[in-house]
Amino acid sequence: NPKKSRDVTMEFSVSNLPWATSSMVNYFAFGSNMNPAVLQGIRQITPVEQNPGLVTGYRLRFNMMGTPGVEPSFASAEVSSDPKDELHGVLFKLSWADWIKVAVTEGVPIGYTAESVRVQLYDGQELDAVTLTAGKFGRTPFNVDIRPSPRYRELLIEGARYHNVAEEYCKKLEQIEPNPFILIDTRESYARRRRSRGW
């Protein structure tokens, strides 16, 4: 069964945190942070290690509220009713400074909530990690899924393929239908931003 969630405040004590040591944090990304143009490029995070893996008993949802007409929703790791479900992504080993940067930019603990999970790497290792689930104040009304923008969907697909996430899972990402109600398409402006940062 999936582990119970654990709220992690900005105090960040390492006591009783299975996913951290005094110097490093294991962070499991499943959304746009899989994409190096976002994590390393936009957020200026420098992972010490990065490996594809999965978490059983979880699934990808788009129940994190965004901006209607621009970025209507964002991804969240959610416990599934089916214990056989798998959420694939990338396990990053980060310094505490970089993890705090991720947490702050993702709005932990208001928007997202940090949650402990057990990650199975494709090479067979199993490691404790922290991931992000939609928090009380970040969830969509009635906790419904809202289709993501074409740009956001592309970020997930690019990131998953960059890190050699399982092909079957990449195809599932490609089958996600993007939101048709986008008033402002930010793909070109985002591409310019990426180029300006060398990504």
Q: What is the pTM of this model?
A: 0.86
Distance CA 67, CA 56 (A): 30
pLDDT at 3: 44
Distance CA 65, CA 110 (A): 12
Distance CA 113, CA 133 (A): 5
- pLDDT digit string (tens) for the chain, length 199 residues: 444 444 444 444 444 578 888 899 999 999 999 999 999 998 999 999 999 999 999 999 999 999 999 999 999 999 999 999 999 999 999 999 999 999 999 999 999 999 999 999 999 999 999 999 999 999 999 999 999 999 999 999 999 999 999 999 999 999 999 999 887 766 566 555 556 666 6
Residue owning tokens 């890190």: 163
Distance CA 179, CA 5 (A): 29
